[in-house]
Structure 1
Amino acid sequence: MDLERQSKPFTISPWVDLLWGAAFTILWVFVAARLYSSLLPILVLATLLYSGICFAVVAHWPKTKDFGWANRTTLLRASLIIVLVAAAPFIPAFPSTDHALWVYAVGALIALILDGVDGKLARITHSSSRFGARFDMEMDALLILGLCIAVVMSGKAGFWVLALGLMRYLFVAAASALDWLNRPLPESFRRKTICVWQIVTLMVAVLPPTPPMVASLALATALLLLAWSFMTDVYWLYERRFHHQTV
């Protein structure tokens, strides 16, 4: 009996992780509220977004299985990204010397750095999972959307920039109607590179020293690359649609 207890792996309930994730989210909310003077709207938006993460974890992660350090890192990153998205509508317009824009860009940079940390932890601890990969992917998409909103609100570019953040969600919506779009895509260096390029370009565009013309040109390039990448993936899936149906 004692040997069985000693050999049983130590696990932490996912609810514990969700609670400390909520605590970090609230902390970031108060920091953002101090910078942008909009506590209630940011708190409401952050609460709605974090509730979505809680629902996903409860619905798709086994209660008896440890959440893992890779997923915990993604959750920490998610708490920051959620507040960045919630605060994006309150970004001060360009030209502005407000340090809040710099803080926003630094927050996005930290989220980008953590994106590499969770993947490395998953490989080191041999804890890679479909849930973890999807969790990480959705946080990338949410960060990009938040940065798009921040760029629009800062006045560095027009509403067309939102296409960078909405393209992923349009693909998901199309996949709900067209089953062949749900086929797993192979690993792609091209896809990862363009994703990072999007985030970096958006972060640079938010910075006060970046002129609107430079920001718009760089973002237009990112949009063209993203559209090409999505078209490449959709074509790959379309060519294999019948094989997918017969499997």
Structure 2
Amino acid sequence: MIKPILETRSATPLGRWLTTVLGSALMVAAALSVVGIVWSTILTLEFLGWVVLILGLELLVVGSVIERTHRRIGHQRITLASWITIARAGTLAVLVGFLVVGPTTDLMAWVPSILFGIAAVLDGVDGAIARATESVTELGGRLDTEVDALTTLVGASAVVTAGTAPIAFIAVGVARYAFALGLWWRRRRGQPVRELPPNRARAPLSAVTLLTIWIAFLPVVDEHVSMVLTAAVAIPFLLNFAIDWVLVTRRSGRRTG
């Protein structure tokens, strides 16, 4: 059995969350140090403010996941795989900073696509490491789901804003949040919500969507090409969510809490 290289053993949700705050701050600070060496002029108050804002919002989500998981099944450690997931969130925070400030050189125009590519690639790395180290946990899975949704939301919003994807593509970014909100509303009203059955299409569709967003980020791709590509990918992606909605809101089957 391969042991995780790094795991957090804090006994309380607050302790684990504070550890993730410190770890995230250190990782983002290291990344910004590299950015500062290459492009010192970009480290403006506006840039840093957006990075801190997005990172703070992401850490609130992480804290919520830690708390909810602790209430549901008790203590679960933060493993190396989960740290990689958290690093993905930090990458997105730096990406937003670049998107808001905007590139000032031709070379800098490639940075958003590089950062998004890193976040997308790490999406496959964290799960692989969790399985290789036999450290798959519900906490890690929930963190992965939340960061996946954030990655898609940030990416879809960015390419729509840049004009390399149709405005309707924003639906891809908000689909998971609309789905979760809809389920919450049904539970609140006492309506049935069923367990979501396995679906082999989810992972491939997510991977293809991230790849498509990355292509739309690339400065060398014609915007008309990316428009058509993102529109074509959005159809099966949203259709799959619609099918999932039907499956969890049907009147037969097993009900979840």
- For normalisation by structure 1, the TM-score amounts to 0.80
Q: Name whichever of 221-230 and 17-26 sits farther off.
A: 17-26
Equivalent position of 1:223 in the other structure: 234
Residue 82 of structure 1: which of 93, 103, 106 is its match?
93
Q: Measure how far apart 1:68 and its partner are.
A: 1.6
In the superposition, relative to structure 1, how do residues 150 and 100 fare at CA in structure 2: closer, same or farther (>3 Å)? farther
Equivalent pair of 1:91/1:153 in contact (CA under 8 Å):
no
Equivalent pair of 2:48/2:97 in contact (CA under 8 Å):
no
User: Are 1:188 and 2:199 an aligned pair?
Assistant: yes
In the superposition, relative to structure 1, how do residues 224 and 177 fare at CA in structure 2: closer, same or farther (>3 Å)? same
User: Are 1:115 and 2:112 an aligned pair?
Assistant: no
Q: Name whichever of 226-235 and 123-132 sits farther off.
A: 123-132
Residue 56 of structure 2: which of 10, 31, 47 is its match?
47
Equivalent position of 1:99 in the other structure: 107
Q: Measure how far apart 1:182 and its partner are.
A: 4.9
Residue 9 of structure 2: which of 7, 12, 28 is its match?
12
- For normalisation by structure 2, the TM-score amounts to 0.78
Equivalent position of 2:142 in the other structure: 134
Q: Number of matched residues? A: 234
User: Are 1:207 and 2:222 an aligned pair?
Assistant: no
Distance 2:43 2:166 in 1: 22
Residue 254 of structure 2: which of 237, 244, 247 is its match?
244
In the superposition, relative to structure 1, how do residues 184 and 26 fare at CA in structure 2: closer, same or farther (>3 Å)? farther
Aligned CA RMSD, in angstroms, stands at 3.0
Equivalent position of 2:3 in the other structure: none
DSSP 3-state at the match of 1:186: coil
Q: Measure how far apart 1:58 and its partner are.
A: 4.5
Equivalent position of 2:184 in the other structure: 176
Equivalent pair of 2:160/2:166 in contact (CA under 8 Å):
yes
Q: Structure 1, residues 26-75: CA drift from partner, whole Å, max 9, x if none?
A: 44456399548533233223323323323433553489653122212211
Equivalent pair of 2:195/2:255 in contact (CA under 8 Å):
no
In the superposition, relative to structure 1, how do residues 152 and 164 fare at CA in structure 2: closer, same or farther (>3 Å)? same
- Which residues of structure 2 form unaligned runs of 5+? 1-6, 11-15
Equivalent pair of 2:186/2:192 in contact (CA under 8 Å):
yes
Equivalent pair of 1:89/1:153 in contact (CA under 8 Å):
no
Q: Measure how far apart 1:126 and its partner are.
A: 2.3
Equivalent position of 1:151 in the other structure: 159
- Which residues of structure 1 form unaligned runs of 5+? 1-9
Equivalent position of 2:13 in the other structure: none
Distance 2:56 2:256 in 1: 43
In the superposition, relative to structure 1, how do residues 97 and 188 fare at CA in structure 2: closer, same or farther (>3 Å)? farther
Larger helix fraction of residues = 1
Give 1:122's aligned amino acid: A
Identity %: 27
Equivalent pair of 1:145/1:164 in contact (CA under 8 Å):
yes
